[in-house]
Amino acid sequence: MGREKNSSGAGDPARTLELLWREGGTPPTSRRGPRQGLTVDAVVDAAIALADEGGLDALTMRAVAQRLGVTPMTLYTYVPGKAEMLDLMLDTVFLRMPRAGFADGGPWRARVTAVADENRALYLRHPWVVELRVHRPPLGPGVMSKYEHELAALEGLGLDDVTIDSALTHVLGFVLVAARTELDARAVDRESALSDGEWWAAHEPLLNRVFDESRFPLAARVGEASAVAYGGLYSPDHAYAFGLARVLDGLAALLPRG
């Protein structure tokens, strides 16, 4: 099952919805299997653990079965395939996301920032979610409760419903890109076994010999100032905070005056 298969909404719609809205974690219909006590929830938890450890490339039905100590055929009696499994995994992590309370109102910027922070934390906790193409999200309780919660951050601001949805999409899109960039940077550090500081120390002597500051004065000045500010080549926290502030500034321009 290659990377092209890692998309939401690719499974059987009826079976997926039946599984998403199950109660008690058991299969929606009676099925026999040699492993008593195994539930859909247990299967999904095992799949999430595998993806957390090795990404979506490590996720196969056989690997999930091995982790649970059952045969692949037994696993298929609970979840029909990887496509449905991905939808169940995504909906489950969405359902379990910690959520800030908006019942007491509060400044809208703080509410939207909380939504952004919650999504960033989710991506860093479950990096495989960033790998997953989510054009058609599974309409399960996790997706719906997440959407309901996040819309509340923009409710009462005088925006029409379409603008509320568009504003939320814009915020979440920024967070996804920021998280993907941060995860890529982590992967580079991990694969090279060098931190940004160590990489720079190794390359700086050669760069000083070949780089002509008089030819690239802006690059030299801005690059040096940024490296000092970031403590290296890149600061994910700074990039996220700066970008989110600009996103919020843009949303502020949409709000009715007063």
Q: What is the pLDDT of residues 247-258, one digit of tens each?
A: 999 999 999 886
Buried b (16+ CB within 10 A) or exposed e, 39-71: ebeebbbbbbebbbeebbeebbbebbbeebebe
Give the span between the Cα atoms of 176 and 173, in whole angstroms. 5
For residue 40, the SS3 value is helix
Q: Is 154 helix (H, G, I), strand (E, B) or coil?
A: coil
Q: What fold, for 3-93?
A: Arc Repressor Mutant, subunit A (1.10.10)
Residues forming CATH 1.10.10.60 domain(s) in the chain: 3-93
Considering only CA atoms, which of 5, 4, 8 is closest in space to residue 86?
8
Model pLDDT, residue 125: 97
Q: Give the pLDDT score at 242.
A: 96
What pLDDT does residue 243 have?
97
CATH label, 108-252, candidates 3.40.50.12780, 3.65.10.10, 1.10.357.10, 3.40.50.720 = 1.10.357.10
pTM for the model: 0.85
> Are 196 and 234 contacting, i.e. CB atoms less than 8 angstroms apart?
yes
Mean pLDDT for all residues in the chain? 87
Phi, psi angle pair for 86, to nearest 5°: -60, -40
Asked whether the CA dihedral 171, 173, 176, 179 is positive or negative, the reply is negative
pLDDT of residue 26 exceeding 90? no
CA 203 to chain centre: 33
How much is the pLDDT for 27?
A: 52
Query: DSSP secondary structure string, 107-131?
Result: -HHHHHHHHHHHHHHHHHH-THHHH
Q: Are 123 and 175 in contact (CB under 8 A)?
A: yes
For CATH 1.10.357.10, the residue range(s) in the chain are 108-252
